[in-house]
Amino acid sequence: MKVWIGYGSEHSSNLKLIGRFQTEEAAKAAEQLFERLRDRVYADLDAETYDGDQDSPPDLSDEIAELLRELKLYSVGPADVENFAYDHSVRREGADFVLTTDENNIGGFVKILVDVDAKIEIFSLHSHTDNGERKDES
């Protein structure tokens, strides 16, 4: 008998991304940017103009493409926008922007944080505490 061992992403990554900014205003602007992108992707999902369940990233809707130009996010493409269709949460803690997600695909989030000049810290909450300290392995 053969046992098939496959690889997939059927588990929770439990990632935390922290974007550290020079000012609280910059962190707030990043939070608003993420909210605008999330809202646009959700609106496209509701209108069925964006299908995040395809095997390959779908084309950007005209509205998302226009929003990316308005926000000057030129490095972000369809696969990056797809990150916003997945469950994630954002919040601000002073000059820090905090994003948590169970997804492993975070390239779009990272690109945007780099584009808005954040210093980024990424870690798994499986092996680190909420403040980023390594959990005791004993």
Query: Average pLDDT, whole number, for the chain?
Result: 86
Q: What is the pLDDT of residues 24-52, one digit of tens each?
A: 999 999 999 999 999 999 898 887 765 55
Name the pLDDT band for 59 (thresholds 50, 70, 90).
confident
- Quote helix, strand, coil % in the chain, to nearest 5: 35, 20, 45
pLDDT score of 78: 87
Position 2 in a domain = no
Q: What's the total number of domains in the chain?
A: 1
Q: What is the pLDDT of residue 137?
A: 67
How many Å apart are CA 68 and CA 33, to the nearest integer?
Answer: 10
- Asked if the structure places residue 1 within a domain, the reply is no
What are the tokens at 137?
A: 């392995």
Does residue 78 belong to any structural domain of this protein?
yes
Short-list 18, 6, 8, CA closest to 101: 18
In a domain, 132, yes or no: no
Averaged pLDDT for residues 92-96: 96
Does a structural domain hold residue 138?
no
Assessment of whether the complete model's pTM goes beyond 0.75? yes
60 belongs to a structural domain: yes
Partnered with residue 123 across adjacent β-strands are 16
Question: Has residue 14 got a pLDDT over 70?
Answer: yes
Domain range for residue 118? 15-124
Residue 130 belongs to a domain: no
**8 is a domain residue:** no
